[in-house]
Amino acid sequence: MAVGRFAPSPTGELHIGNLRTALLAWLFARAEGSAFLVRVEDLDDRVADRAHEAGQLADLRAIGLDWDGDVVRQSERRELYDAAIDRLVAGGLTYECTCTRREIREAASAAHGEAPEGAYPGTCRRLDAAERARRAAEGRPAALRLDAQVASITFVDRVHGPYEGLVDDVVLRRNDGVPAYNLAVVVDDADQGVEEVVRGDDLLSSTPRQLHLADLLHAPRPAHAHVPLVLGPDGKRMAKRHGAVTLADRAAQGETPALVLSHLATSLGLAEPGELLTPGELVDRFDPTTLPRQPWIVDPDQL
């Protein structure tokens, strides 16, 4: 058995893409007779909203998903993240970074292929004393980065198979003092005993960084299953701009949550169009090896 989880950010309503990923995470866990947890990723109080959190949890319940134990909020777990960062600092595995986003882009461009696309090129790790002093005199706020010291990590994803991805010097604490996502998610999964992470495949490339952090913190590596996204008819990731994409939107179109669940199940090959099943009934049909490997492209007006 492998404990699973779903970890939404309370920044808006869940759309059918989010609900499909939540359903898959639930099915992976329940099909193995395992616990399923819900964690709210609300560290960034500039965008997190308790009203959105309540709405998201209500939508999960509406399509029949349940979870074990209380909902955990990242905003209430800062001590855990700070303790993990302190361990990495004590191990000499961090450095301060005052780069702006523009400087990072320009440095990566000037690297002429030395740094993989999207990777931090290590600018502040290589600064001499004079440049550090100049930046300090400017009063630049500093983020804290990991001195990764490895280039890549390979793991086997349950959907994508073997995958090798880059490991760069990820941010551990932002320059506003907030622990960064890549650090918090590793600490949370280890602390909560999460053994299998099911999430959208847009996060596949982040996994090697997180696995490396888990190794450095002596935390067990969870298994991963990165599932295909839901895309709009324009081929871009599902969003509010695509029309009636939330449960409230679908209700305004005359659809019940049970029918929305039917759409999701049909897209996964677990139900016939219009067939109404509970999540529990879907567990009996669930086989991870038969999941679609391509995105679900959907026009909400044609559901």
Q: Residue 93, exposed/middle/buried by CB under 10 A (0-12, 13-18, 19+)?
A: middle
**Residue 299, phi then psi, degrees to nearest 5:** -100, 110
- pLDDT in the model for residue 1: 65
Question: For 114-123, how does the pLDDT look when each residue is reduced to its tens digit (9 = 90+)?
Answer: 555 568 988 9
- C-alpha–C-alpha distance, residues 5 and 70, integer Å: 12
- The overall average pLDDT reported for the chain is 93
Query: pTM (2 decimals)?
Result: 0.93
Compute the average pLDDT of residues 100-125.
73
Please report which confidence band the pLDDT of residue 15 belongs to, taking 50, 70 and 90 as the band edges: very high
Instruction: Tell me how far apart the alpha carbons of residues 142 and 239 are, in angstroms, rounded to a whole number.
Output: 33
Name the binding residues for L-glutamate.
5-9, 41, 181, 199
Residue numbering of the annotated binding site: 5-9, 41, 97, 99, 120, 124, 181, 199, 240
Cα(267)–Cα(250) distance, integer angstroms: 17
> What does the DSSP 8-state code read for residue 169?
-
User: Out of 106-120, 194-208, 252-266, which region has the weakest mean confidence (pLDDT)?
Assistant: 106-120
Q: What is the pLDDT of residues 229-243, one digit of tens each?
A: 999 999 999 888 898
Which amino acids are annotated as binding site for Zn(2+), given as ranges?
Answer: 97, 99, 120, 124
pLDDT tens track for 37-93: 999 999 988 888 899 999 999 999 999 999 999 999 999 999 999 999 999 999 999
Cite the annotated binding site for ATP by residue number: 240
81 Cα distance to chain centroid? 17
Question: What whole-number percentage of the chain has pLDDT above 90?
Answer: 79
At residue 140, φ and ψ (nearest 5 deg) are -70, 135
Pairwise CA distance, residues 67 & 73, whole Å: 14
Using one digit for the tens of pLDDT, what is the confidence trace for 205-232?
Answer: 999 999 999 999 999 999 999 999 999 9
The helix (H) or strand (E) run that includes residue 211 is helix 207-216
Q: Quote the CA–CA distance of 105 and 122 in Å, as a whole number.
A: 12
- Give me 190's structure tokens: 């280890």
**Residues contacting 61, CB < 8 A, separation 6+:** none
- Which domains occur in the chain, in start order? 4-74+228-302 (3.40.50.620), 77-192+203-220 (3.40.50.620)
Residue 2 pLDDT grade (very low, low, confident, very high; cuts 50, 70, 90): confident
